[in-house]
Structure 1
């Protein structure tokens, strides 16, 4: 009954009568969770905004590279292209970005945020105009993952007048990227259409194959908005396709040292094929001058089949240990029978409705709302058997799926939140937050292809109250202190057993900010205390115990660290030199011996580097000729928990320093030409060992582009 009432209220907010046009319509902006950089710097909690200007200048299509300029974020690369991101924030580790809340325009964008949150789908970065990162107690407004942080991607907005843009980029390997959008306004109506077309040749060479390691991506977005005197309604439609010749198979360390861009012939037929479609309808209504509601109905569907070699990591491990036969199989000089290539075929649906009221009570800015959400994952994964004969792959037969390869998982959740941002005095701002999550997940495995016989079932229910509080205090005109604490939560997913508890944590932060005339500086310490740190297991990101499905509870853990950022600029003749520095130190360890997991106090957690640093320096001229260098450093990190005590170099990645260079010049008022060099000094290291072997970052890449606005 309550769910029906909530849905009726939210739908009613989207269908209010009395819509009428007005010359001065309200501006619709429900997609932002922070605003611009200046707002991020005064929030009672740590946050950051990567603005459109930076995204446009650097032009990266890889979200990992974008986020490396933000403190407190851990990015583990995998394919060197950013197609399947692994992002962690503070206490939330990076495995397939499943421990953070990912949103696009304020809507959950993970394939199945509760039952299967692993980010096998990620929005095309070329059509993203801003990235908002929210940490600390204020993130309780969003969910379900509330431990480390929230990332909200802002899509291209509808223009306020007739306008458009076309950008074309070519790189030295023949890859092309095209981004175009156009929109117009007619009375109370406005609209926009947009597309991104990417054709990449990849940077890896596959043994004994004429195929490439590249990809083709098509992405289309359409938006339609109506604005009235007191309300606005916006419809957004999205559809994308991707075919990428990507594999889980990496390299042995010896082969990586000889050629990091090599790929074994065993992976020559591996390919990801996916489609994603999304629709959401958002309504804003100004009930009074002080009360506004925002309601959104959304549905996302993601279908993928990643056809790839299964179990290739066993050959990598054996070859690393000196097994000549395993190395011969990888090289194609030794025949082998019974190679399994699985159709990793899954269909996801994620849908829900969310309603929020913003209430201005003068000193109190109150936000009240809720969300009802359902998601599902349908897995049907036949396995094709091949033999390797004289270096070629020869098809043998197909094995139809049962058990774990033939299952259906669901998640259902009801969430509520209440926030009060209270301006207690001119100098003191207090933020109080409370979130409630009620989650049910289930899994059904089938013993036959026709799904007439159930092999096994499991399910899990959990509900959590998640309180938080934070504040800022202006100790002087230029100095501000901040601090906060909140309860973190991460749902277990569709593979959880009834007796398992979700990951919970207590998360603290405290810091200081300095606001100068041309300088901003911020230092924030953070600490997360986990009663039961949990890893989400998948083939793409196996857990520390080797499991590739379900979860692995590592036990009690503590993650602590320091985030520092500095932004300034100064004049040098006719040039302006902006400088942005970001640094993160993190200690992430098991805090108590755990006989069940086999981990001990002091064992390092996976996917968390100890040190990260980024430095961005510009040289801007009044003519519009601007140049930028971006330096990024990341420490080595564990690929399994406890790598610091294992004594094996195969349990960790390598540290990496990369320098990017960008030069941009205006050919006219509306046209820019630019040169970009990624990885200027061609430094390649082992940035990941998951899945199945050593994997490199992208090599030195030159690209040129032209952008025209009209």
Structure 2
């Protein structure tokens, strides 16, 4: 049976499936199936091939389904990801426009330590030179699922995969013509601010061979804090065309635009007075991007698939932020009166070509892939003097990056023994040319590395699966580091993991232990300078338990992550690594009775340090100090209208106890406390025709 030559029966199954048992990496060409096909079709995409039954993925993995993403208590992408073992999130804006995501203790700041993909394509503005996701072209309503792979994927996806891979999968084209409308209002309990979310999806098969879909997601309003006015436009067009039984073309075009005020960090005194206020009136973020990709797939048999993808984007993003220069206070101290307003426009042009091939021969499945990627970046900084209204150029840096990557792996099934071995090797070569347009300096940096890996899986029984992996990862020197006078180097790390899964009846249990052995880890300091911590180590335990007795109306689940980190070189040898909570806990439950569904979710974030020195007492400005622990509780009640098909109304309560947790400032406002979003209420109407 050919994957793309679907019978009407299979198409009906595709439409009924909502949990993501099988999906292709490209949102336009994706099809779904409730049941595991008897004949497995080889795929050139590793995430796709292992998703056919993710219970047998040789590494820590969690898939957030459509049901989870659409739950009324999930306010943002951050809320959803906070349920995954090992994932630490910091909600900077309350609107979801700038998520900060960390995995296994790695810093969540600008999601720099994890490979973030959207439909299998790197989301970072500069996938090699600027891995911080300071433009996040994803909105929650457009997602079908989120695939979080914490281990075992480094050979197939790189670079910057030390923390694993997170793949945001947008909604696929339905077979039958479908129109979906969703309206959501979120009201802050303290300030009364209203955030509106409008979503439209229309698509289906135009002919038996051609599918088309359009999505529009608009966000307007304010989050709970002052100075948080936000506008987001996200438009996506998907298409796929079955040329014949062996050849398929698929593609996507996206335009994403955001204009948002940023409330920034608060001084400790201002936080205690009113954590909803803002002391950063000049901070703002504006960006837009055009992105697209097209993929040709050739599948002459069930044992061979070749795909060739081309993708790219043209993006502009600018932060404006107040600066206090010439005084005794830090330039971003929330209590300081700004003397200047800086802006940091970045323009990115990225394009890439990526062929992949998968061949199954007996007990061996070979996967080969390569990629050529080019980045052009204009890295500028300007400064407005508020005393005389004069404007000056501070930086005019130009970067040109060329990257070549290739990998090969062999998944070897050892007969009927239950063992599967996958040795692999990835090669990365990155060359970055730098020129200072305001001066005469120029430089280049070359990163070249062979990155081996080995994953092992063992199916002991239908219920038990064991796995282990060891892989090496690379993060090239970043564009902001090339000009840094400090001891900055290409970062490498070894990742180790051992774990098991148990799936039987009403129970699903997973546990794994991991260790990340880092070389030359570079971290940003509160003054935005860069420091090489040298060798660091992250190790810990991740567990998850889900129980749904007799597949009945009640479902309970829990996750717990224990983390131990250590700086192994330098002035702070023996101290913990910053922004790495020792404990992360998530408890969730749901109860469905007739047309009603009630959900409750509680997330615990343990204590952590905010600087490499492990400062205990908080400084007056809030630049350092131990971060306290906190619980965040969210709940929702959904009602499916019995007289109308596919229409539901959901009431959500977010941060039910109005917990007042906080973390340290981020990026353009690095000094002070950033509060987590306070209590809010949401009302959602969802209708599918």
Same fold (TM over 0.5): yes
Aligned to 1:400: 392
Q: Report the 3-state secondary structure (helix = DSSP H, G, I; strand = E; otherwise coil) of the residue aligned with 1:304.
A: strand
Aligned to 1:519: 507
Contact 2:147–2:166 (CA under 8 A) maintained in structure 1: yes
Q: Does 1:670 align with 2:670?
A: no
Q: Does 1:252 align with 2:232?
A: no
Structure 1 Cα separation of the partners of residues 489 and 130 of structure 2? 17
Q: Write the mapping of 1:280-299 to structure 2, written as runs, cut at 5 A.
A: 280-299=293-312
Aligned to 1:475: 460
Alpha-carbon distance, 1:33 to partner: 5.1
Gaps of 5+ in 1: 1-20, 206-211, 321-325, 330-335, 388-395, 448-453, 536-542
Contact 2:588–2:601 (CA under 8 A) maintained in structure 1: yes
Q: Report the 3-state secondary structure (helix = DSSP H, G, I; strand = E; otherwise coil) of the residue aligned with 2:69.
A: helix
More displaced stretch, 666-675 vs 495-504: 495-504
Contact 2:25–2:47 (CA under 8 A) maintained in structure 1: no
Aligned to 1:463: 448
Alpha-carbon distance, 1:147 to partner: 1.4
Aligned to 2:32: none
Contact 2:129–2:401 (CA under 8 A) maintained in structure 1: yes
Aligned to 2:190: none
Structure 2 Cα separation of the partners of residues 319 and 229 of structure 1? 60
Alpha-carbon distance, 1:442 to partner: 2.6
Alpha-carbon distance, 1:515 to partner: 1.9
Q: Does 1:604 align with 2:576?
A: yes
Query: Which residue of the other structure, out of 513, 523, 539, is the alignment partner of 1:560?
Result: 539
Aligned to 1:77: 91
Structure 1 Cα separation of the partners of residues 442 and 364 of structure 2? 48
Contact 1:367–1:419 (CA under 8 A) maintained in structure 2: yes
Q: Does 1:342 align with 2:342?
A: yes
Contact 2:488–2:522 (CA under 8 A) maintained in structure 1: no
Query: Which residue of the other structure, out of 591, 598, 612, is the alignment partner of 1:627?
Result: 598
More displaced stretch, 311-320 vs 371-380: 311-320
* Deviations, residues 542-598 of structure 1 (Å, cap 9, x unaligned): x13x4526x4210111110000011111269xx611112111111111123x2xxx3
Alpha-carbon distance, 1:201 to partner: 1.7
Q: Write the mapping of 1:168-207 to structure 2, written as runs, cut at 5 A.
A: 168-172=183-187, 173-185=193-205, 186-205=207-226
Structure 2 Cα separation of the partners of residues 188 and 49 of structure 1? 30
Aligned to 2:681: 702
Contact 2:265–2:664 (CA under 8 A) maintained in structure 1: no
Distance 1:496 1:243, change over 3 A: closer
Q: Report the 3-state secondary structure (helix = DSSP H, G, I; strand = E; otherwise coil) of the residue aligned with 2:339.
A: strand
Aligned to 1:355: 355
Alpha-carbon distance, 1:522 to partner: 1.1
* Deviations, residues 364-397 of structure 1 (Å, cap 9, x unaligned): 222111111111321233211225xxxxxxxx32
Distance 1:311 1:490, change over 3 A: farther
Structure 2 Cα separation of the partners of residues 656 and 242 of structure 1? 30
Q: Report the 3-state secondary structure (helix = DSSP H, G, I; strand = E; otherwise coil) of the residue aligned with 1:40.
A: helix
Q: CA RMSD in A?
A: 2.6
Q: Report the 3-state secondary structure (helix = DSSP H, G, I; strand = E; otherwise coil) of the residue aligned with 1:64.
A: helix
Q: Does 1:145 align with 2:160?
A: yes
* Deviations, residues 285-322 of structure 1 (Å, cap 9, x unaligned): 113331101111011122112222135998876999xx
Query: Which residue of the other structure, out of 521, 532, 537, is the alignment partner of 1:533?
Result: 521
Alpha-carbon distance, 1:494 to partner: 2.1
Structure 1 Cα separation of the partners of residues 331 and 580 of structure 2? 26
Q: Write the mapping of 1:256-275 to structure 2, written as runs, cut at 5 A.
A: 256-264=271-279, 267-275=280-288
Q: Report the 3-state secondary structure (helix = DSSP H, G, I; strand = E; otherwise coil) of the residue aligned with 1:603.
A: coil
Structure 2 Cα separation of the partners of residues 660 and 59 of structure 1? 5
* Deviations, residues 485-541 of structure 1 (Å, cap 9, x unaligned): 111211111244498531111211112222221101111000111232222xxxxxx
Structure 2 Cα separation of the partners of residues 277 and 99 of structure 1? 25
Q: Does 1:637 align with 2:608?
A: yes
Count of residues paired in the alignment: 635
More displaced stretch, 32-41 vs 69-78: 32-41
Structure 2 Cα separation of the partners of residues 240 and 532 of structure 1? 35
Aligned to 2:410: 420
Contact 2:96–2:139 (CA under 8 A) maintained in structure 1: no
Structure 1 Cα separation of the partners of residues 162 and 434 of structure 2? 25
Structure 1 Cα separation of the partners of residues 675 and 479 of structure 2? 32
Q: Report the 3-state secondary structure (helix = DSSP H, G, I; strand = E; otherwise coil) of the residue aligned with 1:694.
A: strand
Gaps of 5+ in 2: 12-22, 27-44, 188-192
TM-score (norm 1): 0.84
Structure 2 Cα separation of the partners of residues 259 and 692 of structure 1? 17
Alpha-carbon distance, 1:81 to partner: 2.8
Q: Report the 3-state secondary structure (helix = DSSP H, G, I; strand = E; otherwise coil) of the residue aligned with 2:194.
A: coil
Structure 2 Cα separation of the partners of residues 87 and 515 of structure 1? 28
Structure 2 Cα separation of the partners of residues 44 and 516 of structure 1? 19
Moved over 6 A (4+): 25-28, 312-320
Query: Which residue of the other structure, out of 422, 425, 437, is the alignment partner of 2:428?
Result: 437
Distance 1:232 1:477, change over 3 A: closer
Distance 1:548 1:565, change over 3 A: same
Q: Report the 3-state secondary structure (helix = DSSP H, G, I; strand = E; otherwise coil) of the residue aligned with 1:633.
A: strand
Contact 1:44–1:138 (CA under 8 A) maintained in structure 2: no
Distance 1:234 1:313, change over 3 A: farther
Distance 1:156 1:319, change over 3 A: closer
Aligned to 1:234: 250
Alpha-carbon distance, 1:626 to partner: 0.6
Structure 2 Cα separation of the partners of residues 315 and 169 of structure 1? 46
Alpha-carbon distance, 1:647 to partner: 7.8
Query: Which residue of the other structure, out of 633, 638, 641, is the alignment partner of 1:659?
Result: 633
Structure 2 Cα separation of the partners of residues 314 and 152 of structure 1? 45
Structure 2 Cα separation of the partners of residues 291 and 646 of structure 1? 60
Distance 1:59 1:285, change over 3 A: farther
Distance 1:316 1:671, change over 3 A: farther
TM-score (norm 2): 0.87
Contact 1:372–1:414 (CA under 8 A) maintained in structure 2: yes
Structure 2 Cα separation of the partners of residues 257 and 381 of structure 1? 34
Alpha-carbon distance, 1:85 to partner: 1.9
Distance 1:233 1:514, change over 3 A: same
Structure 2 Cα separation of the partners of residues 214 and 289 of structure 1? 51
Contact 2:522–2:534 (CA under 8 A) maintained in structure 1: yes
Q: Report the 3-state secondary structure (helix = DSSP H, G, I; strand = E; otherwise coil) of the residue aligned with 1:57.
A: coil
Contact 1:616–1:629 (CA under 8 A) maintained in structure 2: yes
Distance 1:311 1:65, change over 3 A: farther
Contact 2:72–2:651 (CA under 8 A) maintained in structure 1: no
Contact 1:223–1:236 (CA under 8 A) maintained in structure 2: yes
